[in-house]
Amino acid sequence: MLEATVSFSGEMNIIVGLEGSNFWRENAGERGIGEENGVSDLSSLPESCISEIISLTSLTDACRATAISSAFKSAADSDTVWEKFLPSDYTEILSRSVTPVVYSTKKELYFRLNDTPILLDGGNLVNQ
């Protein structure tokens, strides 16, 4: 089971969960499942909410989520998700790189850092 609490504009907290292929949401202590609660599937949730949920999973699950639907692909490819998989000191690593590391998304940066050694500190260290 996966559960996440998502805040919208700091005014409302909604807890959403995924159990197998079923999902539920809880608002103000009342839990509902599926269409009974006005939501027919997770794809109808806001992309930011889906991204937050996916970011709490594993790298493998995030990659698998791209196959569920176009909404999930967009959410799973978001910077919100991929920043969670980057090392916590990735900005420091980038600042110490001998050559600039070019990337347009956090997903691209993740794979760049994992697939290609980066020379650090004047070429004296290699980030692997």
- pTM beyond cutoff 0.75: no
Q: How does pLDDT run across 88-128, given as a tens digit for each residue?
A: 999 998 998 888 999 999 999 999 988 888 888 877 767 66
Residue 118 pairs with which residues in a beta bridge?
A: 127
Question: Rounded mean pLDDT of 65-81?
Answer: 88
Whole-number Cα distances in Å, 85 to 9, 37, 74: 25, 32, 17
With a cut of 90, say whether residue 28 has pLDDT above it. Answer: no
